[in-house]
């Protein structure tokens, strides 16, 4: 709880520039504020800041849970359509300006869990937890075209796994390139990835790219009264497999935001990468999507 409180302040709650005026100028100002705030953490090499959004969704409803995989977790009861979903995500800066006056090195960690808290017949197990340690280099940028500013580019190595043994073990390693473009209250992120090859004997999910594809596309908008909307698309068009997520949030109290999330398709979690999910979730998030420190995906 203490760590969650730290992640909810103060960088994530800093005010972004006013949304009136030239979109390119706004995006440049937002990027400059973010750079200045991130620079303040350089004096403390162990300063923790938010990475992706931190949220707690005490009610989620999935119309199509995977009963077969749940039977591998427990033989008691049946999988419940309702469960709790939450995400914890933070980053720590390791090095400044690796390439002249640009290129900051970070370590990040994201954990996302699906908890069958209401399933007392099955002793309320954690159905799935995904662990994502990551090392990345951020390059600030100010290149602009057609009213959009390429505010940041990222090169990252990320490991993702669910920490289980066979037959439920799922894991993979990727290198991804992420570019963020902003225009006033709009933000677009393109994040293609390349999977690090594994031997057939070590590969828990050899067909994962058939369902998850080769990258993510995210589009977000800041609305009036600090409401925020974001959509994400992933998948493999040649196989006809897609995963879509929509998030909508607005201020609730003391920096906490009411959060609605909708997911449909493949790739929501490692265990469900090849299982079609149809989930609606309600709860709270602790840091806004748009902040002076950047776009929290």
Concerning whether 281 is annotated as a catalytic residue, the answer is no
Residue from 174, 199, 178 nearest 187 by CA? 178
According to DSSP H, which parts of 66-212 are helical? Answer: 67-73, 208-212
d(CA 279, CA 119): 17
Concerning whether 183 is annotated as a catalytic residue, the answer is no
Which H helix or E strand runs over 44?
none
Residue of 82, 124, 159, 275 marked catalytic: 159
Three-class secondary structure of residue 121 per DSSP = helix
Residue of 82, 161, 179, 183 marked catalytic: 161
Listed in sequence order, the residues at least 6 apart from 28 whose beta carbon sits closer than 8 Å to its beta carbon are 142, 144, 149, 151
Q: Determine contact, residues 149/143, Cβ cutoff 8 Å.
A: yes
Q: Determine contact, residues 200/223, Cβ cutoff 8 Å.
A: no
According to DSSP H, which parts of the chain are helical? Answer: 2-7, 23-40, 67-73, 208-212
d(CA 242, CA 71): 26
87's tokens: 């995400």
Sole residue written with tokens 């990475």: 51
Residue from 146, 189, 188 nearest 24 by CA? 146
Listed in sequence order, the residues at least 6 apart from 43 whose beta carbon sits closer than 8 Å to its beta carbon are none
Q: Which residues are catalytic?
A: 159, 161
């Amino acid at each position: 709880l203490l760590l969650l409180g730290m992640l909810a302040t103060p960088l994530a709650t800093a005010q972004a520039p006013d949304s009136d005026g030239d979109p390119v100028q706004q995006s440049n100002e937002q990027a400059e504020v973010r750079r200045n705030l991130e620079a303040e953490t350089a004096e403390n090499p162990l300063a923790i800041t938010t990475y992706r959004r931190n949220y707690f969704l005490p009610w989620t409803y999935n119309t199509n849970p995977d009963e077969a995989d749940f039977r591998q977790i427990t033989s008691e009861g049946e999988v419940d359509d309702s469960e709790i979903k939450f995400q914890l995500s933070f980053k720590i800066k390791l090095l400044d300006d690796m390439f002249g006056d640009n290129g900051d090195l970070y370590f990040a960690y994201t954990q996302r869990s699906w908890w069958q808290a209401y399933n007392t017949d099955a002793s309320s197990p954690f159905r799935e937890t995904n662990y994502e340690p990551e090392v990345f280099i951020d390059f600030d940028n100010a290149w602009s075209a057609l009213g959009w500013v390429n505010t940041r580019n990222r090169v990252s190595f990320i490991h993702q796994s669910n920490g289980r043994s066979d037959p439920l073990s799922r894991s993979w390693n990727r290198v991804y390139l992420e570019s963020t473009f902003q225009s006033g209250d709009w933000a677009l992120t393109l994040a293609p990835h390349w999977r690090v090859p594994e031997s057939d004997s070590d590969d828990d999910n050899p067909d994962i790219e058939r369902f998850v594809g080769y990258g993510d596309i995210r589009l977000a908008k800041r609305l009036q009264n600090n409401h925020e909307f974001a959509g994400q698309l992933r998948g493999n068009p040649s196989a006809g497999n897609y995963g879509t997520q929509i998030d909508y949030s607005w201020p609730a109290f003391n920096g906490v935001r009411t959060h609605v999330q909708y997911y449909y398709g493949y790739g929501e979690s490692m265990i469900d990468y090849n299982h079609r999910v149809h989930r609606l979730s309600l709860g709270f998030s602790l840091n806004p999507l748009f902040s002076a420190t950047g776009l929290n995906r």
